[in-house]
Structure 1
Amino acid sequence: MKTKILYLSLLLTLAVGCNKDDDNNNDSSTTSEEIASAAKIDNISDDVLQIVQSESDESQSGKTTETTESFLSDCVTTTTQQTGNAIVRTLDFGTANCALFNGNLIRGKIILTFNNDFNAATRTISYAFDNFYHNDRHVEGNRTVVKTILANGHPQATIDLNMTVTTPNGGVYLRTGQRVREFTEGYNTPNILIDNVFSVTGSWTTTLPSGNVQTATITSAVIAKWNCIHIVSGAIDFTRNGNVAILDYGSGTCDDNATITINGTIHQVHL
């Protein structure tokens, strides 16, 4: 999903007239390289959320040290320590890149802290990074996920997006904001992924190495299906230097068609 947002960001850079090529330029324009790197932070957030949610549930409790399979791949070692109700779980991806199911490469550690209140209506999972890299980008920060069950029975996760990401060339990106992901279908079949459907809302701000700021706001819930490589519907407003571009993913069809609206002009795009 985030590969598509990366491609979109490059389109938006051109659409709002950003034509600078120097990453260190302090002008108010935003370079395509900066926007592309900022978009990749979304990829990091999604992968980390999937890991944190899957490794903080009851099915993973009571384990000591083991090689984790399925979602995390067999190159991850999980160590769990429990003191009373408090659980600390360390996910060690090693010092060499480890491929996730979606092909993204990670290394280092994610340390989760939570209680064994698996049946509580609301649960908070805290996690931190220890020399953690995602596709060779260094990720830092202490974050939280608040998991709840809605009145309709859907699991929901509210994700704190605050983190610092340093690229291989030394560019530092600061991300703040919040994303809410509602698990609308497939939550009753945890061992089957293909029927999963998520509805995502939220807004976030990214400060780029140049000091420029890009804001993204989901104005119509973004719908992602596990069995479709494309986002099927939803809309996001991207604001940069006072310019607004509106991305519309469509009305539910699994295809790469989308539109970008700038100054009232609609552009058909393939993501």
Structure 2
Amino acid sequence: MKTNLLKIASLCIVLGLAVTACTKDPVTSSLTPDAQSAAAVADNQIIQDESEDVYGLVDDVTFLPFGGRNFREAGGDGGGGKGKHGGHFPNLGIGWDKPWKGKFDNCADVSKTVADNVITIVYDYTGVTDGVCNDKAVGGKMTISMPVKPDSGFSGTLTRTVTYENLKRDTLVINGTHTITTTVADGKATASEKLANVTITNTNTNRVITYTSTKKRIVDNKGTSDKDDDESQTTGTTSAKASDGTEFTANITKTLIVKRSCSDAKGFPVSGTIEIKPFTGDTKIVDYGDGTCDLKYTVTVNGVTEEKEKTKPEKRKKG
């Protein structure tokens, strides 16, 4: 039982909608983890949260399938109608007349080019004044490449590729590549997702996490055009080196469920399990519980279960 970023046991980039991120507080714990692989669970939680955050970011800013509003089973405008989101969705995919900069950030310099039916969009934070946006330290770039959007009745495969170049939020910096291959059939979408050779650097400690993650994700949109009730089901594996040098694999042994309706735990699993196997040290089982919307989970090692909770970061004030 759960007693839900990057949305993580210690730190994260929360790249929600257009690169929102945060530094996570340490988890609360009554036991001391295995010293030989203490970072594996915490850093795998950072990886888990980061994977959710960057997927949500890319999906929102590109408006493509599995959750993308142009491919909803019900209520989607698709063709630029005056729906809930203002009708700024012309046929050329991301080339809407009011570029989406995110629900929380409007600091990035956003540029878009189209060539040979491929759209390239760049979110560039390098020119942000003093490197601070909405009280958060920012920097670097995110570049997305994707096909021109087909019509709303499309069936087939679409691929989005993303490159993160020193993309910074608060104390964390991400580099690496992200590929999302989405198959749409009968109005439903399934994605194969890979984050390759990704590094997450904590600028306070200079500690680095490196990983490659391959996942499959299915999104249930509940038959509505509103993303706020979406639920995702994710399976897959991760190979990583923790910030203390520990190498480990993490295998999702029971499908992770994430509910966007969990306002206080968006992006954080409400159920599912992950088996973490350090190359040296004991196997650890992370259990996110029974579906309750919270930030609690358990870690079991050698039959001993430890309750943890990811605490919310305090919002920084302007100084």
The ranges of structure 1 where at least 4 consecutive aligned residues each deviate by more than 6 angstroms after the TM superposition are: none
SS at match of 1:140: strand
Mapped partners of 1:165, 1:260: distance in 2: 23
Q: Residue deviations 1:86-140, cap 9 Å, x none?
A: 11111223532435xxx98643221111111533511111111233213332222
Mapped partners of 1:44, 1:218: distance in 2: 16
Q: Residue deviations 1:225-249, cap 9 Å, x none?
A: 1121343221111222241122222
The answer as to 2:209 corresponding to 1:173 is: yes
Mapped partners of 1:111, 1:256: distance in 2: 31
- Counterpart amino acid of 2:207? G
Name which of 1, 5, 19 aligns with 1:2.
Answer: 5
Corresponding residue number in structure 1 for 2:271: 233
Corresponding residue number in structure 2 for 1:206: 240
Contact 1:164 1:175 in 2 (8 A): yes
- Deviation of 1:81 after TM superposition, in Å, equals 0.6
Q: Residue deviations 1:179-236, cap 9 Å, x none?
A: 22211134741xx332111111111021134431122111111111112134322111
With CA pairs under 8 Å and 6+ residues apart, which has the higher RCO, 1 or 2? 2
1:26-45 matches, cutoff 5 A: 29-32=36-39, 36-37=42-43, 39-45=45-51
Contact 1:187 1:196 in 2 (8 A): no
Question: Which is richer in strand?
Answer: 1
- Counterpart amino acid of 2:202? T
Mapped partners of 1:270, 1:174: distance in 2: 24
Contact 1:250 1:258 in 2 (8 A): yes
- Note the residue ranges of structure 1 that are not aligned, 5 or more in a row: 19-28
TM-score (norm 2): 0.67
The answer as to 2:173 corresponding to 1:138 is: yes
Mapped partners of 2:164, 2:7: distance in 1: 26
Q: Residue deviations 1:21-63, cap 9 Å, x none?
A: xxxxxxxx2345x754553233333222112122223645324
Mapped partners of 2:189, 2:45: distance in 1: 26
Contact 1:257 1:268 in 2 (8 A): yes
- Note the residue ranges of structure 2 that are not aligned, 5 or more in a row: 11-24, 65-69, 71-88, 311-319
- Deviation of 1:259 after TM superposition, in Å, equals 4.0
SS at match of 1:55: helix
Corresponding residue number in structure 1 for 2:314: none
The answer as to 2:293 corresponding to 1:254 is: yes
Corresponding residue number in structure 2 for 1:17: 34
Corresponding residue number in structure 2 for 1:46: 52
Q: Residue 133 and residue 4 in structure 1: after superposition, are their counterparts in 2 closer, same or farther (change >3 A)?
A: closer
The answer as to 2:115 corresponding to 1:87 is: no
1:57-68 matches, cutoff 5 A: 57=64, 59=89, 60-63=93-96, 68=100
Mapped partners of 1:139, 1:85: distance in 2: 29
Q: Residue 257 and residue 35 in structure 1: after superposition, are their counterparts in 2 closer, same or farther (change >3 A)?
A: closer
Contact 1:51 1:72 in 2 (8 A): no
TM-score (norm 1): 0.77
Q: Percent identity?
A: 24
Aligned CA-pair RMSD: 3.3
How many correspondences in the alignment? Answer: 253
Name which of 36, 40, 61 aligns with 1:55.
Answer: 61
Contact 1:256 1:270 in 2 (8 A): yes
- Counterpart amino acid of 1:82? V
Mapped partners of 1:223, 1:210: distance in 2: 29
Q: Using the TM superposition, name which of 73-82 and 103-112 deviates more.
A: 103-112
Q: Residue deviations 1:126-157, cap 9 Å, x none?
A: 11123321333222223211112256x43222
- Deviation of 1:10 after TM superposition, in Å, equals 5.6
Mapped partners of 1:14, 1:245: distance in 2: 14
SS at match of 2:173: strand
